[in-house]
Each structure stands twice: as structure tokens, then as C-alpha cells.
Amino acid sequence: MSEIAIEVSHLHKDFGEVYAVRDVSFSVPKGAIFSLLGPNGAGKSTTISMLACLLRPTQGEATVLGHSVTREPRAVKSLLGVIPQEIA
């Protein structure tokens, strides 16, 4: 069984009455190539922002190489680099 690099479990992000991400769960094995695909407004950037500790999830949990994005953001940030294609 392969080691899990990213684990996302029932992740949610709300902005007031707007639900940007609702109940997203997935895992990515270490060494895998993984992508998030979907139309504009589907929550891809919000999900990546939560994984990079730029946004705090409303509920749910995510880990990067075993480090919690909510309880260990410094450890997660030291492991990741995010460069958007376009800056809004």
C-alpha cells in the first residue's frame, strides 16, 4: 500500500451564504500526478487555497504529508508552493 501525500475528508468552505466547497473528499498517493478539473466556480481554487493554508476550511480536515492544514499550517506551508496561472 502506498503512502498518502494528500488526504482530504469532508472539506467545506462557506463565505457567508455562498458555499464554495461542499463535502469534498479525496486522497492522493505519494508520487502520483493529480489534477482538479471543473468549470469556473466549481471550487478548485478554493480547495487548493485550503490545502496551501491560505484559507481555513469551514469544516472537514485535510492533511499534507501527514500534517493537518488546520493544526499545523506552518509545517504544511514549508512543504508546498502554489503559483496560480492567473492572479485575480
Query: In angstroms, what CA-CA distances link 29 with 8, 34, 42, 58, 68?
Result: 12, 9, 23, 25, 16
pLDDT digits (tens, 9 = 90+) for 20-73: 999 999 999 999 999 999 999 999 999 999 999 999 999 999 999 999 999 999
pTM: 0.91
Q: How much is the pLDDT for 88?
A: 65
DSSP helix/strand/coil, 46 = helix
Q: In angstroms, rounded to a whole number, what is the distance separating the alpha carbons of residues 56 and 43?
A: 14
Domains of the chain in start order, with CATH, are: 4-79 (3.40.50.300)
pLDDT digits (tens, 9 = 90+) for 61-80: 999 999 999 999 999 999 99
- Is the separation of the CB atoms in 20 and 14 below 8 Å? yes
In terms of Cβ atoms closer than 10 Å to its own Cβ (0-12, 13-18, 19+), residue 71 is exposed
